[in-house]
Amino acid sequence: MRIAFLMAPEGVEEIELTEPWKAVLTAGWNPQLVSTKAGRIRAYHHLEKAGTYPVDHVLAGDTADAFDALVLPGGVANPDALRLNERAVAFTRSFFEAGKPVAAICHAPWTLVEADVVRGRTLTSWPSLATDIRNAGGTWVDEEVHVCREALATLVTSRKPGDLNAFCGTFVKEFGAG
């Protein structure tokens, strides 16, 4: 399986990238770092600069066609930048339109809100996104990990880095079942 990891050029929470990436590799799948610019993305540990990672694919009108699933890591700045990028929003929306599974952690559901794909769905996130999710027509729950199968595409969401074990185990299981 080819799994897209969508990130802005800067601002992803490093552990929310590296742990899901390892889970995808352990499952024997092919992770691909997708971004809005070529080169390397800059990760953070909270507000401190962390590692950089090479971009495998730059968005240019792409859809979900070339991938089997999508992972959206969090961090505050990462999804905030993605939701302002029309290509990133359209790319995210295309996974739901194609019925392909999506996993999002922490602040990443901001991109889902912008893509208008949370209406009628139940999901979790960092608690400060609860109002945004409700205003977009979704139901917010405070759970370690939540799987929503209320529409065509399966959506796996989680709240924070402390939930990564449950998040990774759940999305690997759900992606593999699809």
By annotation, the residues acting in catalysis are 107
* The two structure tokens encoding residue 91: 């790319």
Longest dimension (CA), the chain: 38
* DSSP 8-class letter at 109: H
Which of 168, 173, 118, 172 has its CA nearest to residue 145?
Answer: 168
Torsions phi, psi for 20 (to 5 deg): -65, -35
Which of 51, 35, 42 has its CA nearest to residue 111?
Answer: 35
Which of 6, 24, 31 has its CA nearest to residue 164?
Answer: 24
